[in-house]
Amino acid sequence: MRTAQTGEEAVTQTGEPVEAPPSRRPLVLCALAGFVVGSSVLGLLWGLSGVHAGALEDAKAACEALDRVGDIPDTTQSSTPTLAQGLSTERLHRMTAARELAAAAAAVNGAYQPLADHIDGVSRMVFSLHFNDISGQRHLVEAQELCARV
């Protein structure tokens, strides 16, 4: 090791050269690598944990909105197919909300796609005012069954 002022090597009192302390570079590099890896794993876990939770919340909210639509008339047993009276504006807004929330849940997590498809079928029946649509009534029953499992 050289002294700063004279540029000569440092020596002990016995005349042997003093060894330089070990470099801290490997320790600093290992600490930095550990920090980067740990931060990456933590960020990845945090990012992935919220994705499916949001889909579940959206699916539950879609089911609640569908439930709040209330009773949807079933005129499939009627001998003459006629247009039924429409639902109130509030109920139509809830039906729209149920459809959009179910679609949002399905976009994030494909497991909710059947729920989104059935609620979409119900909404098409409701907005067309054809409550005698057998397919629409089947979609309503399936959507209610899926909502019971969410």
How many domains are there within the chain?
A: 1
**Spatial separation of the C-alpha atoms in residues 137 and 48, rounded to whole Å:** 37
| Structure confidence at residue 105 (pLDDT) | 94
Per the structure, the complete domain to which residue 95 belongs is given by 52-149
* Assigned domain for 130 exists: yes
Question: H helices within the chain, ranges in order?
Answer: 25-69, 89-108, 113-128, 134-149
Q: Give pLDDT tens digits for 63-96.
A: 999 999 988 888 777 666 555 566 788 989 999 9
Reported as a single tens digit per residue, the pLDDT across 28-54 is 899 999 999 989 888 888 877 765 568
Q: Which pair of tokens denotes residue 105?
A: 């849940």
Query: Which residue, among 107, 135, 112, has the nearest Cα to 123 in the 3D structure?
Result: 135
Nearest to 62 by CA among 115, 2, 9, 107: 115
Amino acid letter for position 36:
V
The answer to whether residue 17 is domain-embedded is no
